[in-house]
Structure 1
Amino acid sequence: MNLPLLALAAAAFGIGTTEFVIMGLLPDVGHDFGVSAPVAGMLVSGYAFGVTIGAPILAILTASWHRKRALVALMGLFIVGNALCAVSPNYEFLMVARVVTAFCHAAFFGIGAVVAAGLVPHEKRAQAVSLVFTGLTVANILGVPLGTALGHAAGWRSTFWAVTGIGLVAITALWRWLPSALPAQQGSILREFRAIARFQVQCALLISTLASVSMFSVLTYIAYLLRDVTGFSPDQISWALMLFGGGITVGGLLGGRLADWRLMPAMAGLFACIALVQLTFSWTAQFALPAMVTLFVWGIVSFAIGPAAQVRVLDTATGAPNLASTLNQGAFNLGNAGGAWLGGLLIAADRPLTDLCWLGAGVAVLALGVVLVSAQVDKKKAPQLARA
């Protein structure tokens, strides 16, 4: 067992739980603070914007740090942020606490992905990254449904106290198991920012953003959709989220293998599948068993994109791996915020909740177009590189 990868996955489990569990608790938080569904949904957007804003800031602040020190410090910030969430006296305080928690997200996954890729042979990079991101998938199959159930039983604040405890376990594992010899980032941070400006890097970041917009335009309001359209009780919603998490677990591992096999064709095929599954969900959401099956399949295809998109960014951003990997997490979360915002606009316009699925499918098709354009640019550049 690779203990450093396990430590990174444990931290990813905590971060993934605090990021996603809020969606199962939104009705409870909204009721507690007396805010509407779109306003409660902004807690998802606020976290995502915190990740997006924090990505370049933390990339600069931690640029000269040894990677172990940086990862431990970021997990410490995560612990403080979740404790603040647990004691929030009002909606505004909770929003600020979510943003504080989010600041560690992009930098941790950015640095962690580079560390994971460096711990294994080159041909196993995507699988190593996917193993770290398995922490996110396990968060969805265990952390989110159990956290949601705990929140329903003992109040939503208890969930954030539990996540704080997970953070303490993760920071201990990082301190004990990460190699001390992990070097600091080499080179100029300004040179890395220039490398990020290349067209193919920007395409890769856009692909990550659109993948998250597609997913979170629906997932942010999944508790409302399952309650009001499917007719699920709070306990049934927890089981449905656990099934979705099971799909995510399969998808995260499958995505790593597909990315190591044929990266761009795999991403194109996955986005096509995402669009089809979300269109299907607009109909199956009205029936309990078909809705559960669709949720499982949606979890597979939506999270299989993650490792592929991460490796695509690393491949295109030669010379800027740490910054590119960190900014890619910001791109994912910019998509989270955008998806939550667009979904909120649909709800505020009194559109049926099933229209969220059409929105997500449309964004997936747009992402497929960006993948095809980027792949075409690769083909045009290949003969030039061969001649050089």
Structure 2
Amino acid sequence: MQRVLLLAIGMFALGFDAYVVAGLLPDIGATFKINASQAGQAVSVFTFCYALAAPVFATLLAGKPMRRILLLALAVFSVGNGMSALASSFSMLLVARAIAGVGAGLFSPLAAAAAASLVSEQKRGRALGMTLGGMSTGTVVGVPLGLIVAEHLGWEGTLWSITALGLLALVGIVIWFPNFPASAPPSLRQRVAMMTNGRVSATVGITLLTSISSLGLYTYIASVLYHLADIDYTTPFLWAWGIGGMIGSFSIGTLIDRTGRPSLLMAGILAIMAFSMFILPLGLPFPVLAYLPFVIWGAMGWASQAPQQHVLLRLQPDHGAAAVALNSSANYLGSAIGSALGGIAMLAGLAPSRLPFAAGCVAMVAFLAQLVVMSREKIKENQGKIKMES
């Protein structure tokens, strides 16, 4: 598990970068004289390129030494963040965020696949949980600290700190990570079969909906809080969301290993996440209860990834990296879609205070889809038992 920790450190930098920008949107908007919905596209372009990078580069670089690919990914990620800090226009910032997204999209799924391969199958859930936990820790620790840095050094200073973290992770991989043999790349025919596999496509589709709901809403958390309760200091709520994320990502692996039922866990996660979004506006007037929906939402959002990855690794045991890359792509494509739809909805006149309800409805659709998948699996199991008995 010590080697998995190295991957978690790299994921820490990714988590910091992926989520701190949402808190920096007001400052970015002020710098480039744009509104919140326009500034939100800095999140969309990062996540969209993340989504594209995962499957494309998993194909182009499959079979190459994993250590070398992880180093390349961190180098691209760091360059993108350095360019973001130096951007002199919003267009340049979008290009730089795209480059950073490509590096993140290359690193994240390979890190998850490597973590699962470095341990026994009995410890796979915990390894995935630790890897994702690195990203959630980057959120809970990095995002609030990044906002504090921004108060003193501007949003550019925060992006410089992310650049430094990416380079630090790169050095750690160079020194301590072993030369890890990569699995043979799946053929084009195998990739098409993977995409057309009903269970795989259903799993990935539910991941997409989950991300549209959770990460799409997170992008506009500052606008939501301001319009719901005139709250203009978002750091405590980001702390609450991030702490929930740490709890969810670090505990879900153990639950998967103990229960052996990732699909059932995923259904529970989606139901609870939808509930937390629906009650979010109700708790804001009360000092203590205001943070509870954010903790629950963060915990469920972060916990949702490991069960899906576990299912895909079981369905595609020979091509785990490609399967995880596909799920990672869906996760960040959902974030990009959610961010874009949120911005479009607000430009069309939807009040930001209505976004939690809209996100909760999307989470409920994902929950219902998960129930359909589980019922079909149960039917297939029963049919198999009948055939064996006959």
**Matched AA of 2:192:** R
Q: Match of 2:239? A: 242
Alpha-carbon distance between aligned partners in 2 of 1:257 and 1:65, rounded to the nearest angstrom: 31
Alpha-carbon distance between aligned partners in 1 of 2:272 and 2:255, rounded to the nearest angstrom: 14
Report how far residue 285 of structure 1 moved: 3.4
Q: C-alpha offsets along residues 138-172 of structure 1, whole Å, 9 cap, x if unaligned?
A: 11111011111211221000011000110111011
Report how far residue 319 of structure 1 moved: 3.2
Report how far residue 240 of structure 1 moved: 2.1
Q: C-alpha offsets along residues 58-80 of structure 1, whole Å, 9 cap, x if unaligned?
A: 11221121111111111111111
Distance 1:248 1:4, change over 3 A: same
Q: Match of 1:186? A: 184
Partners of 1:52 and 1:334 within 8 A in 2: yes
Report how far residue 376 of structure 1 moved: 2.2
Alpha-carbon distance between aligned partners in 2 of 1:209 and 1:258, rounded to the nearest angstrom: 23
Distance 1:284 1:342, change over 3 A: farther
- Identity within the alignment, %: 30
Alignment of 1:196-345 (within 5 A): 196-197=194-195, 198-234=197-233, 237-260=234-257, 261=259, 262-345=261-344
Q: Match of 2:348? A: 349
Q: Secondary structure at the match of 1:290?
A: coil
Q: C-alpha offsets along residues 252-301 of structure 1, whole Å, 9 cap, x if unaligned?
A: 12222233322111111111111111000032234443222221122112
Mapped pair 1:103 → 2:102: yes
**Matched AA of 1:128:** A
Alpha-carbon distance between aligned partners in 1 of 2:312 and 2:363, rounded to the nearest angstrom: 18
Report how far residue 385 of structure 1 moved: 5.5
Moved more, 368-377 or 120-129: 368-377
Partners of 1:47 and 1:99 within 8 A in 2: yes
Alpha-carbon distance between aligned partners in 2 of 1:257 and 1:339, rounded to the nearest angstrom: 30
Alpha-carbon distance between aligned partners in 2 of 1:36 and 1:360, rounded to the nearest angstrom: 21
Partners of 1:247 and 1:297 within 8 A in 2: yes
Moved more, 256-265 or 57-66: 256-265
**Matched AA of 1:258:** L
Alpha-carbon distance between aligned partners in 2 of 1:40 and 1:187, rounded to the nearest angstrom: 38
Mapped pair 1:77 → 2:76: yes
Q: Secondary structure at the match of 2:341?
A: helix
Partners of 1:43 and 1:95 within 8 A in 2: yes
Q: Secondary structure at the match of 2:352?
A: coil
Partners of 1:120 and 1:128 within 8 A in 2: yes
CA RMSD of aligned residues (A): 1.7
Q: C-alpha offsets along residues 148-200 of structure 1, whole Å, 9 cap, x if unaligned?
A: 121122100001100011011101111222221x1122143314412322111
Alpha-carbon distance between aligned partners in 1 of 2:313 and 2:205, rounded to the nearest angstrom: 14
Partners of 1:248 and 1:300 within 8 A in 2: yes
**Matched AA of 1:68:** R
**Matched AA of 2:43:** V
Question: What stretches of structure 1 move > 6 A for 4+ residues in a row?
Answer: none
Gaps of 5+ in 1: none
Q: Match of 2:118? A: 119
Partners of 1:213 and 1:338 within 8 A in 2: yes
Alpha-carbon distance between aligned partners in 2 of 1:36 and 1:215, rounded to the nearest angstrom: 22
Report how far residue 249 of structure 1 moved: 0.3
Distance 1:385 1:191, change over 3 A: farther
| Structure 2 length-normalised TM | 0.94
Q: Secondary structure at the match of 1:155?
A: helix
Alpha-carbon distance between aligned partners in 1 of 2:345 and 2:290, rounded to the nearest angstrom: 21
Moved more, 248-257 or 8-17: 248-257
Equivalent residue pairs, number: 384
Q: Secondary structure at the match of 1:350?
A: coil
